Chains A and B, each alone.
Chain A
Amino acid sequence: NAGVTQTPKFQVLKTGQSMTLQCAQDMNHEYMSWYRQDPGMGLRLIHYSVGAGITDQGEVPNGYNVSRSTTEDFPLRLLSAAPSQTSVYFCASSWAIGTGGGYEQYFGPGTRLTVT
């Protein structure tokens, strides 16, 4: 199993550009989520999905869009990039929402995004 994969690994955008961060998992997990990691802030939840066709907002959703058309894929779209979105983005998946049931979240390797 590849686990959770993310592409690209690095990306530089200009302010106002849009892009999609890709995330895929091959573990048949129902729950997938996107976090951003900033120095001294820990991980903050952007959006999450409890299954195909179902998504919801996390703590910091503004400026981001998601959809979940298949169990495997959960792309994150930046609609109009801003310097405040410079961050490292992690996708994660697990058997159940959050960890209700105490399920482990599996993380991808991250995408390092810089917006100039």
Chain B
Amino acid sequence: AQSVTQLDSQVPVFEEAPVELRCNYSSSVSVYLFWYVQYPNQGLQLLLKYLSGSTLVKGINGFEAEFNKSQTSFHLRKPSVHISDTAEYFCAVSGQGGSEKLVFGKGTKLTVNP
């Protein structure tokens, strides 16, 4: 079974500052990794995903994440955040088997202040 730990429940930053949201996972099998974003009072939407290949994955809205197999991490980064990036961010993992379900972390609330 897989599990996901998001190390920070809340991350406050100032506008135009860089940000990193941390995610570690545990799994006994090869995994797929995802970051989803939830804006206030909305459902979740996919930011980016790692399936295989290059360990640096680029997503929407200028976000990127790096898969580190040895450290079992998939941290999300953005070099310069905007007020509109204020949202909750969820890391999720799925095993690569055909019947593997998606397991979510508890979420990190990013607040971008002016």
Contact = CB atoms under 8 A, between A and B. Distances in A.
Interface of A: 4, 33, 35, 40-45, 48, 58, 90, 92, 96-102, 104-105, 107-110
Pick the most buried of B100, B101, B106, B107: most chain A CB atoms within 10 A of its CB. B101
A42 B104 contact: yes
**Interface residues of B, dominant DSSP:** loop
B113 interface: no
A110 B98 contact: no
B25 interface: no
A100 B96 contact: yes
Contact of B102 (A105, A108, A109): A105
Interface of B: 9, 32, 34, 36, 41-46, 49, 51, 90, 94-102, 104-107
Nearest to A105: B102
A41 B101 contact: no
B90 A97 contact: no
A42 B100 contact: no
B49 A100 contact: no
B90 A99 contact: no
B105 A99 contact: no
B99 A107 contact: no
Contacts of A92: 44
Contacts of B97: 100
Nearest first, the 8 closest Cβ-Cβ pairs linking A and B are A107-B43, A98-B101, A100-B98, A42-B106, A99-B94, A102-B51, A43-B104, A42-B104
B32 A99 contact: yes
Contacts of A35: 104
A108 B101 CA distance: 18
A102 B32 contact: yes
A102 B101 contact: no
Contact of A45 (B46, B101, B105): B101
Contact of A99 (B9, B41, B100): B100
A43 B43 contact: no
